[in-house]
Chains A and B, each alone.
Chain A
Amino acid sequence: MGSQKRIAKELAELVETPPEGITVELADESNLYEWTVHMEGPDGSPYHVQRKIPGEALLPTGYPFKPPAVSFATKIYHPNVTTDEKGSMCLGMLRPDEWKPSSKISAVLQFARQLLAEPMPDDAVEGRIAEQYKNDRKRFEEIARDWTRQYATS
């Protein structure tokens, strides 16, 4: 299956015309399946700081028939991102039964960034944070901002 060709093409497109606030590169030039992603916190969101938030996209060997995995390298306080060291992102479109082989990583990353701007508390992985997001938005934003400053800039 021509997955290498597809990945190379997707990568080239992303490098050439990167979507707003997102840059990607290979973590290691010899490996097409591990990408380093830098994401700018959307304006007005508590994730908007000087530096871009680092993360990665891992492509399984079965890509594009199997979904990629997207995660943040630093801790993010967000209802849809796990607070463990993995920082994995829970996106409906990345679930094996939802994923379509014609979906593109570019779309996934843009969706992820959109999620930073607008969390989906009803689809949360961190229930406690989702609760807070719904009931005490101010406090949520404070903590999220603190975390971003503390972790993403160091």
Chain B
Amino acid sequence: MDSDGEMMSDVSSPDDFLDTQASDDDSLGDGGFGDLDTGFDDDNDLFRQQRNPHEVEYKVLNPAEVERERQDQIAEVSAVVGLSPELAAVLLRFGQWNKEKIIEMYIDYPERTLDRAGVGPVTEGRATTEMIPGFLCGICFDEGDDVESYAMRCDHRFCVDCYRHYLEQKIKEEGESARIRCPGNNCQHIVDSQSVELLLSGEIRDRYHMLLTRTYVDDKENLRWCPAPNCEHVVDCSVKKRDLRRIVPTVQCACSHEFCHGCSLPDHQPAPCTLVKMWIKKCEDDSETSNWISANTKECPRCQSTIEKNGGCNHMTCRKCKHEFCWMCMGLWAEHGTSWYNCNRFEEKSGSDARSAQAKSRASLDRYLHYYNRYSNHEQSAKLDKDLYLKTEKKMTSLQSQSGLSWIEVQFLDTASHALQQCRQTLKWTYAFAFYLARNNLTEIFEDNQKDLEMAVENLSQMFEKPIPELAQLKVDILDKTAYCKKRRVILLNDTAENLKNGEWSFNVEW
């Protein structure tokens, strides 16, 4: 494990309002790529332990740690500005948890800051419910000297039943917590946690606290929930949104799920988030349709409208521009004379012109399909590899008894399978990435790396198809191939990550 506290300084500069929030977290970076940076110190600086260019610094937190972090920040601000922790929490939420900024704002303009944050004028005394003679609740219009009522510092007083009902609805139905405002008409005051504590109890109060923690994570750019099902961990990584053009911040949760801290999608290195989204969208719109179009249609030689041949006759009339042409040779129908159903005019001039125009538009479709098919092939293969491994796993027990290997010793298959999955995931995204790359010298290096990784992966993948009894003999070979795959992957990722960081890639799209 390395924890080089300086690494992030070159990608983020703590300057404006929202960007300084994580600047005080020097504790970042224990926990992380434990198993990924083994054995590749060949081109690293000999004097300094360094992270691979494609890796980022991050920390995995459990829910209790997140809550503790939140409480610590509240306590700190509370102590500095001399407000109760509940009000300090409202202030912090308002300032998106940027402690320094909030403290500074409060010290410079205490009243205005409190007002804008929805705290309002601070008065002494703890929150209690009261019975006030002549009280009339503005919500239910119940009145009487014995009606228990509550008001925050803004003095909008309502009966406890209505107040409670209001809070319950906000928490239960709208999932609100830190943004619930006073029920008074037009009042912007935030209902602080002290008021909620006083009025609510049991399950609903627990839910309120859970929602508070959740908003805390949602509010902070450096925190992100692990998207894996049932995982409650939070990953702390300080790569900023604006850096996502240059970095693909991939993290691994304590539950072992690897995902992108920028967009929560599963690991999509080397492609940056924006391109990934563009690609996914394109595939959703296009993939199946494109295949069908490619197989069943041609473009009108004059207006390029896509045409499906829906009858047997080769005499086509474009619906749109009324151009008449032959489906077989794409030439002008007029040139066909009377040879109606038997096109033998393959070398007609107009036909070859039309075919070259068509070839152009087909080429762009073919280009897309080239990348798409390889992308989806790796996706598919990763699934098959996994299925195969699951079958193998069952037989690992029998391998243990047959070959006398211990459980620990057969774990090499597990390692190999994991590496295979990871490499296919990377390969898959290299194709989406390549689709958007404009050709230059760098893309050639990239394609070489891609090819090397692909070959390494296929070689390892083959091993899994061997009969079970042979696997034991192949252990050393499989271990070698696994290490080689991992190495090729890191080489490819480092190359792309470095070029991305330095803005070396040129793309064929704006993003």
Residues of A at under 8 Å CB distance from B?
1-3, 5-6, 9, 62, 64-65, 96-97, 100-104, 107
Contact = CB atoms under 8 A, between A and B. Distances in A.
B186 A101 contact: no
A64 B174 contact: no
B186 A2 contact: no
Nearest to B158: A102
Given A5-B142, A65-B165, A103-B185, A97 B158 contact: no
A1 B162 contact: yes
Q: Is the interface of B mostly helix, strand, loop or mixed?
A: loop
Contact of A2 (B140, B166, B181): B140
A97 B142 CA distance: 25
Nearest to B168: A65
Given A6-B140, A97-B174, A101-B166, A1 B185 contact: no
A3 B140 contact: yes
Interface residues of B, number: 20
Given A65-B169, A101-B166, A1 B184 contact: no
Contact of A101 (B139, B142, B174, B176): B139
A98 B108 CA distance: 31
Nearest to A97: B174
A1 B174 CA distance: 19
Interface in B153-174: 156, 158, 161-162, 165-166, 169, 174
Interface of B: 138-142, 156, 158, 161-162, 165-166, 169, 174, 176, 181, 183-187
Contact of A102 (B174, B176, B184): B184
19 contacts: A1-B140, A2-B140, A2-B141, A6-B140, A64-B140, A65-B139, A65-B169, A96-B174, A97-B174, A100-B181, A100-B184, A100-B185, A101-B139, A101-B183, A102-B156, A102-B158, A102-B183, A103-B185, A104-B185
A122 B162 CA distance: 35
A97 B166 CA distance: 12
A107 B138 CA distance: 14
Contacts of A5: 140-142
Given A6-B140, A101-B166, A102-B156, A1 B186 contact: no
Contacts of A9: 141
Contacts of B165: 1, 65
A102 B184 CA distance: 6
Nearest to B139: A101
Highest count of chain A CB atoms <10 Å: which of B141, B156, B165, B166: B141
A104 B184 CA distance: 11
A62 B166 CA distance: 10
Nearest to A7: B141
Contacts of B156: 102
8 nearest A-B residue pairs (beta carbon): A2-B140, A102-B138, A101-B139, A102-B185, A6-B141, A103-B185, A9-B141, A101-B183
Given A6-B141, A9-B141, A100-B184, 5 more contacts: A6-B139, A97-B174, A102-B138, A102-B158, A102-B183
